[in-house]
Structure 1
């Protein structure tokens, strides 16, 4: 049995915690909502109210990390309303504030949930050797946050960059249905299902794959046009319409390292 703390029991963190508990692990889980504490407790999670901000961190952080060997950081940057010209890197500051508490805790392994958005929309095949070139503020700050964790000598860090997240209750076609003049119809999709996200994290923990970097995207790269029209039909939604004149992205995220290094077979290849 391992003692694991999950910072951020949201869309991914909560079912992940449940899966880890089902395998016999003890899990501390954090939420920023007091109303959600009972949900965590009912799921068998040791619940903690923890808020990580750019100017400080809540006092429950020490108890949340206490006796844990592994910390999973799964908090989204949420930077859409942040002025990209601002000198203050809000998400990076949050990680900076968190690190001293990790250093003085029992945590020796950190798994940081990041995103393939750090690669921007460069054309071609993207592997873990590809140098990040983010074109969004969240992508830029994720790269900086990754570096802070990877360079720290007090614990081992593995960075897990997920592609577009989907699940039974979450699918991008619901937001695209009925829309017109959508760009990049021929761009390959780079998606990953919640079930695969959880299984990959479990594989990293079980196989002790630390001080690593993984891209996690299902090896299924249909074009956006083909895929979303098909999914809209399956869900009885109005098909989106694409503009073929606006098509220049050919980015494909390789899953080869995940498959070979973890000996991992994706649960669902065709989402």
Structure 2
């Protein structure tokens, strides 16, 4: 009867918004070209009737900027990533990427243009090729190049199967760091103009962290990067830091300027991490 209960529950779920854009709202194939991002009076909650988790956010990220998003647990950092992918919908306001209001376009058109490296990577049971290129859009040469840039080529080359290397369910036959490097390889293949890092290195050792950070600096230099940071040292060289507190922007400035203000929230966080 639990199965029946689950089916009944799923039949009552509100469906996702349209998968494809209407002809009037469909962005061009080259969108986004500059990848500027603007939150305009943006508020969102996880379901109707709940308190907003993001409250009246107003800021603009210019093309190619690297922005670190920091704050204490529950400040709304991951909610901002969910908002960009429209996993949660706005209660008010809009998000504009390169002149296009993302709430007016189809989910597939949006998701195909954004790339996220999550905190906990999930892989499919199947070959490495399937996980890197499930829609068969890229050549073997491009995949090997992505693996090399993600510092995973040596390991895959050492196996007898290469790109046909079998990955078990959830990637259990890979280490946590290797699973994250597979996700980094996926991001390198997609060549997205917008990259979101959702505490992508929070659970890994400093060696894996430094590998990922160096690759992001080198290979995504012309991309707009939003990094939800757990380790503050990973975003100290970014252009801008946004400090969230209870769903609102408490501080927004360059890391250098925020560290000069000894009464700032960012300075307090840096002190806890022994950065200052």
TM-score under structure 2 length normalisation = 0.31
**Structure possessing the higher relative contact order (Cα contacts under 8 Å, 6 or more residues apart):** 2
